[in-house]
Amino acid sequence: MKKVVVVGLGNVGMAYVSNLISTRLADEIVLIDLNRDKILGEAMDLSHAATVFNTSIKIKAGDYKDCFGADIVVIAAGLNQEKGETRLNLINRNNEIIKSIVKEVMQGGFDGIFLVATNPVDIMSYAVRKYSGLPHNRVIGTGTLLDSERLKYLLSQKINVSTENIHAYVVGEHGDSSFVVWSKSTIGMVPILETVPKEDLEAIEYETKHLAYKIIEYKDETSYGVAMCLIKITKAIFNNENLVLNVSSPVDDIYMSMPSVINKDGIKGTMKINFNEEEMEKYENTKKIIKDAIDSMEV
Ligand code: NAD
């Protein structure tokens, strides 16, 4: 029996749950939100959706007692960026929300793996780890997995090659200081720096970093991309895939995105990258931005 509890059933939480049903990754899904009427209605609607495929997934509006025996608790509760607002701006307001949620989840007897989507996701993942007291491998943030998928999409559009053959990744903060590790990026086995002009790569990196702002300008929020990233992580855990994903993971004394191996235990390990000089500077910069944000947090 695979049990997933989702806290926060707004745009992101609902996009995740509907995909969790269609991928049949879970046997039991529990919804928790401040808005009780909404989740009562959503649980009914989703149960009917599950029935369309003749699945026997149990879906209910629950409470924190349901965290007992859950394999995964997904946190997608919290405030969203306003137009033009940075993710880091949300830090203190979402920290308060995360603190109260994690306390209740742990009081409910949870002993599984947390997946965190709430922004700023690296800092909120750090906070979830701290407030839960769980081992570091059992708290994972979506991090730059979404940014890496956006990067692959843009590159594939530019050079007309399947995303499957594009090995290019974003690391660091899921935010303005993230960067692409071009020195290690390849198309198939050919170094990308030998095939695509540097100016084009720089333009694509800029666009990758600014896509969220653009989407929010148009539709006020982003949700499907991160929801599918949550699905990918959930699948890697439930199927014990040992899949390498750029997710927010413990790095020294903070959380940030580096390639991490994900399996049934959560984060099996996080890899080090042999950066060139320019990338090392960017790495130190993004790390410092996250560290300063954590230090500034009202705890
Ligand atoms: P939303 O406003 O649509 O939904 C948030 C939900 O959280 C609401 O249903 C609200 O009732 C609930 N909530 C708030 N406080 C709660 C509490 N204390 N306990 C239980 N439920 C609570 O927001 P959204 O668009 O779904 O975004 C959710 C979060 O995900 C935001 O922080 C957003 O920035 C983040 N996000 C992250 C990524 C990423 O890549 N990591 C991408 C998109 C959005």
**Residues 19-42: pLDDT tens digits?**
999 999 999 999 999 999 999 999
Question: What is the rounded CA–CA span in Å between residue 62 and residue 17?
Answer: 14
For residue 13, how many C-alpha atoms fall within 13 Å in the half-sphere facing its CB? Answer: 28
Q: Is the model's pLDDT at 72 over the cut of 90?
A: yes
Count CB atoms within 10 A of the CB of residue 25. 19
User: Above 80 in pLDDT, residue 298?
Assistant: no
CATH of 145-295, one of 3.40.50.2300, 1.10.10.10, 3.90.110.10, 1.25.10.10: 3.90.110.10
Cα 291 to ligand 1 centroid, rounded to whole Å: 23
Pocket test for ligand 1, best of 34, 36, 173 (most atoms within 8 A of CB): 34
pTM of the model: 0.97
pLDDT 10s digits, 184-241 = 999 999 999 999 999 999 999 999 999 999 999 999 999 999 999 999 999 999 999 9
The pLDDT of 145-167, averaged and rounded, is 97
Report domain 3-141's class. alpha beta
Give CATH 3.40.50.720 domain extents, the chain.
3-141
Residues enclosing ligand 1, CB less than 6 A?
Answer: 7-13, 32-35, 76-81, 94, 97, 100-101, 117-119, 121, 142, 146, 174, 221-223, 226
| C-alpha torsion sign, points 190, 191, 196, 200 | positive
Confidence (pLDDT) at 183? 98
DSSP secondary-structure letter at 172? B
Residue 299 has pLDDT above 70, yes or no: no
CA atoms within 13 A of residue 110's CA, in its CB half-sphere: 34
Give residue 187's Cα distance to chain centre: 25
User: pLDDT tens digits for 88-136?
Assistant: 788 989 999 999 999 999 999 999 999 999 999 999 999 999 999 999 9
The predicted structure's pLDDT at residue 89: 85
Q: Which atom of ligand 1 is nearest to the CA of 12?
A: 26
Encoded tokens for 226: 């991160």
Active site residue 174: yes
